[in-house]
Amino acid sequence: MSDLLTYENWDEKKVGTLLDHPRDFLDILKWAYQNYGDRIVYSCSFGAEGMVLIDLIHKVNKHAKIIFLDTGLHFPETYQLIDEIRNSYPSLQIDLIKPRISLDEQTKWYGDELWQSNPNLCCHLRKVVPLKEALQDVEAWISGLRRDQSSTRSNTQYINKDEKFKKIKICPLIHWSWEDIMTYIHLNHLPYNPLHDKGYPSIGCAPCTKPVADSRDSRSGRWAGQSKTECGLHET
């Protein structure tokens, strides 16, 4: 365990050595599961990138742990897709992580539709806090971030020191484009959220997700009309 790369013993030189020759997404996933074993989890939003990563992870570790942050506000299509994936990949450990605070309690304490009046607080209560709790017993987590999704993600590396959750964050798909994602899905006949075919490249909670107005910005439909661009999971 002393040689395991963790947040506490992060070593830039060691990370550089790991990546000093060409690596691809599958190399990174194999390295991640060989090194962390059951001390790594994939936090999946069940968007298109998630379908690709679930399929790739299943090829590497058929019993991998996958979590979904169930805010209670997702589209019906998202929940239907989760059921479909559970049937398609029965060996994977897929858990829905719910916030400690219910929607009724949230309304009682903070007022109706907190996602409108204070979206940052809503995301903190329903996403950030639950993920922090879910990551307590692991050393690393996997994310489907891609560099071309937004300017704030353009410098994401395969292996990252996650200052937000004090863990190692693995991002195997950083070099993939949206076209790459959808091509993989179609070539491998993978299920995916039908909202992607209705102008929703990025799908989050239903109240805060709209069809994109600008096809060049895949996340422009998230918190449309507000300055907010991230839910807080990928901010330091």
CA 24 to chain centre: 19
SS3 for the chain is CCCCCCCCCCCHHHHHHHCCCCCCHHHHHHHHHHHHCCCEEEECCCCHHHHHHHHHHHHHCCCCEEEEECCCCECHHHHHHHHHHHHHCCCCEEEEECCCCCHHHHHHHHCCCHHHHCHHHHHHHHHHHHHHHHCCCCCEEECCCCHHHCHHHCCCCCEEEECCCCEEEECCCCCCCHHHHHHHHHHCCCCCCHHHHHCCCCCCEHHHECCCCCCCCCCCCECCCCCCCCCCCCCC
Cα gap 124→99, rounded to integer Å: 10
Q: Which of 122, 123, 205, 231 is catalytic?
A: 231
**b (16+ CB within 10 A) / e for 148-178:** ebbeebeebebbbbbeebebbbbbbbbebeb
Within 10 Å of residue 206's Cβ, how many Cβ atoms?
16
Q: Is 123 a catalytic residue?
A: no
Active site residues: 231
